[in-house]
Structure 1
Amino acid sequence: MIETDKSYIFLAGASRGVGREIAKYLVEQNQKVKALLRSPDSRAELEAMGIQVVMGDALDAVTVEQAMLGDQPIQAVISTIGGLPKDGQRADFLGNKHLIDAAVKAKVQKFILISSIGSGESAIALPPQALTTLKPVLIEKEQAENYLQDSGLTYTVIRPGGLKSEPATGNGVVTENQKVAGTIHRADVAQLVCQCLFSDAANNKVLAAIDRTQMYGYPEFEELSLM
């Protein structure tokens, strides 16, 4: 289990979506957070929350390493980055590769990667049309997952289902069953991520994250207890 001391949680992707929800939740839990931002648009808001912001692009390996190997010790890394291509190169793999490489050098205690249902062996959970549409992104997410698993770091890969922006429901669950699919609120993903951060039960596991009341079909699955 990672220690709750004076070291920081390094968060990549805090400007929006799941990353922003994770930032809020960590602050509520009195965790020290250092956020890597590519755009200054959300800098003031994050700093007002008490988060230390460092500017940089995850696609720049040197910048990432400097940010993570700064004055403050980093105990864990959480990455939610990905999305649209930049200069022909997505952050889904290359950006996460740079974060993982820097985390190895920083000797962090845990790395949590937010991926997606449909990546890797969970491809069977999505209908063919969705897989075809998402294929370019899912290929890179799987590459990032594999790179993390081969890094030697203690890791947790979390694959959320379809994301919604409503408030947390408390119905989010994680499971090692890669056949499940459904939707989940971003705030519930954030809570699950933070639970995994401090749970040895989540160490070195690939987990699907869904809302138990918003599943597609009614598959039987075993929920992973994070207590």
Structure 2
Amino acid sequence: MMLSRAPKASFAPGARPRAVAPRSNRVRVVRVAATLTDLGEDGKILVAGASGGCGKRVVDVLSSRGVPVRALVRDVSKATSGSGLLAGVGSTTEVVRGDVFQYASLPPALDGCAAVVCCTGASDPRDPLGPFNVDFQGTLNLIAAAKQAGVKHFVLVTSIGADELINPLNLFWGVLFWKKRAEEELQRSGLTYTIVRPGGLKSKLGDGESAGNVVMAAPGTYGFPPRKSGSILRTQVAEVCVAALTEPAAANKVVEVIAEKDAPAKAWADLFSAVNWF
């Protein structure tokens, strides 16, 4: 299938990535909405990958707080009917068709949006181009369209270990490699961003298992041994993404998140403020 790309794509499969200096929020002053209500008054929140595990939960969190949402999916009928993950969404949620593979479908979807939460990711282990197409090129298309639309904040969900070339997950067609390349493109885009790297994703708890509290750390803290690892509920990841939209300390940061049962509960402002990685 031919992909429709944004005008300036920076990589092709096998291309050598160029080094990127991370942007520092100490030298770039940004405006962050004070509340979700303020952000909602500026426009809708586009959730890409809204019919997936994390994306659906981001839609749920925003909708439960009365924030206008535009859920981007490839198949509206499948997502909203029967057992579709977006069946029965609230009145503040608009489900629209769009495909990050097809750049032309993105500007209309972003019209009137104030922010983006990108939860897309390759899902077919049989497709060797999946991570490049979805995690990299698709994200680049969305970044370019978001910049053109003038969105105020772009939240990107990737993964712990994104900066580790020697990681077993890269056997899945370089998935972490391409996630990292997408992170770098977002960092150099000029958009205000937050990159959220969750640990192992869980949809629900096991018998007698505690969800624990969110622990947030600088990039490179978690991953393949000898680094520490951990897991987190998709609902908790969604809460992190939504909090990032209004916390000034989240602007232009990469944060890694897991959940630990013995960790103290902390305010979002404290969690984001404690992460210093530049």
TM-score of the pair, normalised by structure 2: 0.69
Quick one: which of 61, 68, 92 aligns to 2:110?
A: 68
- Which one-letter code corresponds to 1:58 in the other structure? V
Q: Which 4+ runs in 1 deviate beyond 4 A? A: none
Q: Say which SS state the counterpart of residue 58 (structure 1) adopts.
A: coil
**Is the CA contact 2:212–2:261 (under 8 Å) kept in the aligned structure 1?**
no
1:186 aligns with 2:228: no
SS of the equivalent of 1:81 reads: coil
% identical aligned pairs? 33
Q: 1:152 to 1:131 in 2, by over 3 A?
A: same
Deviates more, 1:51-60 or 1:161-170: 161-170
Structure 2, unaligned runs of 5 or more: 1-31, 223-228, 264-269
Shift of 1:189: 0.7
The partner residue of 1:82 within 121, 124, 137 is 121
CA deviation vs aligned residue, 1:73-96 (integer Å, no higher than 9, x gap): 211000010113679453111111
Give the Cα separation in 1 of the matches to 2:167 and 2:181: 21
Q: Once superposed, what is the RMSD of the aligned Cα atoms?
A: 2.5
- Report the CA distance between 1:35 and its aligned residue: 1.0
CA distance in 1: counterparts of 2:51 and 2:199, whole angstroms: 20
Select 1:19's aligned residue among 55, 60, 74.
Answer: 55
Q: CA deviation at 1:129?
A: 5.6
Per the alignment, in what secondary structure is the counterpart of residue 272 of structure 2? coil
1:28 pairs with 64, 68, 89, which one? Answer: 64
Cα offset, 1:37, TM superposition: 0.5
Taking a change above 3 Å as real, the CA distance of residues 214 and 60 of structure 1, as seen in their structure-2 partners, is: farther
- For the pair 1:157 / 2:200, whether they are aligned, the reply is no
Higher helix share: 1
| 8 Å contact from structure 1 (residues 174, 192) kept in 2 | no
Q: How many residues were matched structurally?
A: 212
Closer/same/farther in 2, CA of residues 129 and 96 from structure 1, 3 Å limit: closer
CA–CA distance in structure 2, aligned partners of residues 224 and 57 of structure 1: 31
Give secondary structure in 1 for the equivalent of 2:154: strand
**Unmatched 5+ residue regions in structure 1?**
216-221
2:18 aligned residue: none
Decide which structure has the larger Cα Rg and report it: 2
- The answer to whether structure 1 residue 117 and structure 2 residue 160 are counterparts is yes
Q: C-alpha distance in 2, partners of 1:130/1:52?
A: 38
TM-fit CA distance, 1:201: 0.4
Kept in 2: contact 1:182–1:214 (CA 8 A)? no
Q: Distance in 1 between matches of 2:94 and 2:271?
A: 35
What aligned pairs does 1:1-227 form with structure 2 within 5 A after superposition? 1-2=32-33, 3-4=38-39, 5=41, 7-40=43-76, 41-44=78-81, 45-46=86-87, 48-50=89-91, 51-69=93-111, 73-84=112-123, 88-89=129-130, 90-120=133-163, 123=164, 130-134=168-172, 136-166=174-204, 169=211, 171-180=213-222, 181-213=229-261, 223-225=271-273
Cα distance in 1 for partners of 2:149, 2:212 equals 33
SS at match of 1:184: strand
* CA drift at 1:177: 4.7
Equivalent residue for 1:219?
Answer: none
